[in-house]
Chain A
Amino acid sequence: MTNHWIDIKNADCVLIIGSNAAENHPISFRWVTKAMENGAKLISVDPRFTRTSSRADIYAPIRPGTDIAFINGVMCYLIENNLYNKEYLVDHTTASYLVDPTFGFNDGLFTGYDPTKRMYAKDTWKYQLDENGIPKKDPTLSDSQCVFQLLRKHLSRYTLEKVSNVTGCPPELIVEVAKTYGATGAKDKSGTILYAMGTTQHTVGTQNVRIYSMLQLLLGNVGMAGGGINAMRGESNVQGSTDYGLLFHLLTGYLKTPRVENQTLAQYLEATTPKFNDPKSVNWWQNTPKYMVSLLKAYWGDNAQKENEFCYQNLPKLSANCDHIAMFEAMYDGKIKGLIAMGQNPAVGGPNVNKERKALQKLDWLVAADLWETETAGFWTDPEVDPKKIKTEVFMLPAAASMEKEGSITNSGRWMQWRYAAVHPPGDAKSDLWILDRIYQEVKKLYAADAGVFPDPILSLAWNYGTGEEPDVHMVAKEINGYDLATGKLMAKFADLKDDGTTSSGNWIFCASYTEDGNMAARRDLTDAPNNIGLFPKWSWCWPVNRRIIYNRASCDLQGNPYAPQKWVIKWNAEEKKWTGDVPDGAAPPGAAYSFIMRTEGHARLFGFGLADGPFPEHYEPLESPVKNLMSSQQNNPTIKIWAGEMNMVGTPDKFPIIATTYRVTEHWQAGQMTRNNPWLVELMPDMFVEMSNSLAKAKGVKHGDKVRVSTARGHIVAYAVVTNRFKPFKLNGKAYEQIGLPWHFGFKGLAKGDSANSLTPHVGDANTNIPEYKAFLCDVVKEVG
């Protein structure tokens, strides 16, 4: 989230798209309800009529996988009807930047596409530069090569009629959404967009997020109270696990994992540190060397010295993507021999679980730490398999629950909150901190006795968290914050980190979380900031530097006056020559620095040259779709990776004519181990079910409560039918297309068992992130006999 949960109350309009906030983040509705009490409108855009839709002023149904068409249609309407915020576009975005004339777009492809590599050469996706290497601009936004005009041209193809035929949403509803949400384009109004996995779990997932951001920029909603682009995260610390680099492509604090091209630290820093000539651009990532060197100091301590590149060579270097799907493909191919799963249950939560469960059988060994015996730890007990034929050794480690250990987690609003151990874990269960510490100690012992291969990173690792039975979690938290190595004092802020080896920080964005003043995450002071908009700056702590609303410089004009004085975030105090309110995005006076400090050019990027699949969002059909793409002859995103090989079958509409989507419900959580073992929650939702329209049920001879079989090219499941008016067929080009919906929480273990929806989903991911396309695929439904 650019903003945070409480801030939703400040919105004049709440647009919930690609998420079902009422069901999956119920407490968000405490603040949505507050906003509505103050007159805000609620819009729910969703393929299904959900508990969120039940509260909405406007419910707009769209076919799964058509967000880009829908929002492009909305933006087209806003631009053609002059409902956008021009001042904001000029002052805070790249709308005025001139793009190189060689850039172009034709029939679904941008310039530079290489069909053999399924990649773009991006040499035409660039700005026109002046003699100082600074992009040329046209603040009138009229130059035909300026980003705004190019965007306008791109969007002009998304007419109401076209968008309606792609999405299935009636044109009048698209207009109603555009007008209602467009009203937040007024300078002193703001609208918030709440999204989640309904947005990201598509082959165009990144562009889906991007169009929401672009809509927010058109209306001047980013940086504002009650604005922003707000990813509602589904797990209590999935923000933290991302911040801490538990992803193949990231180290901590969003530093990039070294690639094979980065043979030396100098090469790494050269490649990952952006340069920009405009002195008004803060270009925060120019500090990358300070953060990287401080991280290496936290990892390898005194062993990390300038002479040995601060132990840079100890880090593994990537040659290819090693994302979740790639990992399970490699496992299925027998390349991965051992797997350590810390509280994750891919045998239910992964895409194409028939394949992922099979992949687990290829492992020599599996270590699974969890509170429960999950379908992953117990994959060999699957009733469908013969354990005698499975060679994998499995170590099931009993882990402590949240209230049985001490430490911090980070919520979607980036608040790092400390929690305490109330009781001891049951039996032999231990915290993950203890488990990880002991595994390291044992591995180190082995390498100390027998060097094996390349023992240096292990033997020289700085790893000392006290002498107690449990590692000292405060010592870990302090290491994350970092030290001034000369004085031994905790760092006060990341602006003081150095690239010469005199400072350490295990995660630069958390630097300032645990200082000489104490553990900031444990704070419980309810004093609000002077703007009184619910920032609560002394309650816990949030990254970066306790800034509660990021990009907040964009809430003010270039004189430092807030656009919305009644809910100001920051404002310039001319007498004292400083900003007041929230922690500003940089202390520079108004107008002296551009507002989007994390963007190299300092302006929010409407022309996204960094993306794999194009600088402007373009609609492509999901990998499996019942219709031809009406927007171009490119049926699917041309830059997605297509996984061939066994168990990767793709379904076609002749055999699988029905659209399927998966989702979560209030009463269960993720892969289910935390709720399907909980009697009160099992009471509420005891069984796997599939939701469908009355018309589909009638066509298939299915009644509410019947068991039905749902099949895709990957597998089939059996579930109870919920026949409901909340599901309706989509009308696309005059023809009706049915859809079904499946919760994905169920599996073959636990108190409540059921077939896993992910037996049906494909191994295909987004072009930029490889997040799987769980949300749109093709199936067939029949009544289960017997």
Chain B
Amino acid sequence: MKISRRGFLKISGGATGGAVLGTFGVHLRTSKAYAEGLKTQYAKESTTICPYCGVGCGQIVSVSDGKIINIEGDPDHPINQGSLCSKGAALIQVANNDKRMTKVLYRAPNSDKWEEKTWDWALPEIAKRIKKTRDENWLANDKDGKVVNRTEGIGGLGGAALDNEECYLWSKLARALGIVYLENQARI
């Protein structure tokens, strides 16, 4: 067997000698930080479970001054034993990310922009829409007179990204509202 070395180098490309590359941010650490010892030394630690796939890997979250400074695999966790995949290893960028939603946003009919709102405004408004749609689209009986007690006017989606306790309340609330179009990622 023979692979042409030149041919491969041509297609694989070589590393550049000197580089200033486009990045999504700046280098945060200096050699000084290294010299001072472990960055997680005085951090508060808590355990969590990775939010990505269904393996359920344990992670340790280190917090300093109210900010997450490190997330890595929980070495005691019997499934992952400290290891993680690239997604799990990148979780800190979910916590500290300027693209996270931090405000309630509202988009009015036919508008081309979001408006910032408060919870105190949004929650009663949402409740009004739920009640109006439910009341206007209520089906107490089907065409044969059988009791069905449901609304087909409201749909509910999601749950796989929620905690169990949240799933439970979502399921309970949806059924109490008479929602039948209730689905989550498990179907797709």
Contacts and interface: CB of A to CB of B under 8 A. Distances in A.
A754 to B, nearest CB: 16
A6 B78 contact: yes
B148 A316 contact: yes
Interface in A667-716: 667, 669-670, 674-675, 677-684
Given A241-B167, A248-B182, A260-B148, A233 B54 contact: yes
Nearest to A463: B172
Interface stretch (B1-9, B30-38, B137-145): B137-145
B177 A314 contact: no
A559 to B, nearest CB: 32
Interface string B20-59: 0001110000000000000000001011111111111111
A238 B180 CA distance: 19
Contacts of A30: 79-81, 83
Contacts of B134: 452-453
Nearest to B111: A387
A308 to B, nearest CB: 13
Given A244-B171, A316-B178, A371-B94, A398 B101 contact: yes
B78 A452 contact: no
Contacts of A486: none
B90 to A, nearest CB: 5
Contact of B67 (A423, A536, A680, A771): A423
Nearest to A450: B131
B138 to A, nearest CB: 4
The interface residues of chain B, by DSSP majority, are classed as mixed
A251 B158 contact: no
A360 to B, nearest CB: 10
B62 to A, nearest CB: 8
A260 B143 CA distance: 11
Interface residues of B, number: 118
B15 interface: no
Nearest to B156: A340
A391 B110 contact: yes
A771 B183 CA distance: 11
A215 B142 CA distance: 44
A506 B172 contact: yes
A420 B161 contact: no
Interface string A321-348: 0111011001100011111111110100
Given A246-B167, A338-B133, A526-B78, A387 B112 contact: yes
B116 to A, nearest CB: 9
B54 A238 contact: yes
Interface string B147-188: 111111111111111111111111111111111111111111
Contacts of A103: none
A518 interface: no
Contact of B130 (A404, A417, A439, A675): A439
A129 interface: no
A364 B153 CA distance: 10
Interface in A507-535: 507, 510, 524, 526, 534
A6 B79 contact: yes
Nearest to B135: A452
Given A324-B183, A403-B61, A240 B176 contact: no
B168 A666 contact: no
A751 B90 CA distance: 15
Contact of B55 (A28, A389, A419, A539): A28
B109 A236 contact: no
B103 A427 contact: yes
B95 A536 contact: no
B100 A426 contact: yes
Interface stretch (A91-99, A178-186, A407-415): A407-415
A293 interface: no
A330 B142 contact: no
A411 B50 CA distance: 10
A484 to B, nearest CB: 20
B169 A349 contact: no
B93 A539 contact: no
B108 interface: yes
A623 interface: no
Contacts of B159: 237-238, 240-241, 244, 246, 342-344
A424 B136 CA distance: 39
Contacts of A771: 187-188
Nearest to B106: A395
A371 B162 contact: no
A429 B101 contact: yes
A237 B147 CA distance: 34
Contacts of B179: 316
A667 to B, nearest CB: 6
Contact of B79 (A27, A338, A396): A27
Contacts of B109: 390-393
A263 B147 CA distance: 7
B167 A398 contact: no
Contacts of A375: none
A415 B171 CA distance: 20
Given A232-B54, A387-B110, A454 B138 contact: yes
Contacts of A678: 90, 93-94, 97
B137 A337 contact: yes
Contact of A299 (B24, B105, B118, B176): B176
A443 interface: yes
A286 interface: no
Contact of A247 (B49, B128, B183): B183
Contacts of B123: 438-439, 442
B111 A5 contact: no
Contacts of A402: 48-51, 94
The 5 residue pairs across chains A and B that have the minimum distance between CB atoms: A427-B102, A411-B56, A241-B159, A233-B54, A407-B163
Given A409-B49, A439-B126, A445-B127, 20 more contacts: A233-B53, A244-B167, A246-B184, A263-B147, A299-B175, A315-B175, A317-B148, A317-B149, A339-B155, A342-B170, A387-B112, A393-B109, A395-B105, A416-B164, A417-B56, A438-B119, A439-B173, A443-B177, A677-B94, A680-B86
23 contacts: A25-B53, A236-B53, A240-B162, A241-B159, A241-B160, A243-B164, A244-B168, A260-B142, A263-B147, A314-B149, A317-B148, A317-B149, A324-B188, A337-B153, A338-B153, A343-B160, A380-B112, A396-B114, A417-B49, A426-B102, A432-B170, A453-B134, A510-B164
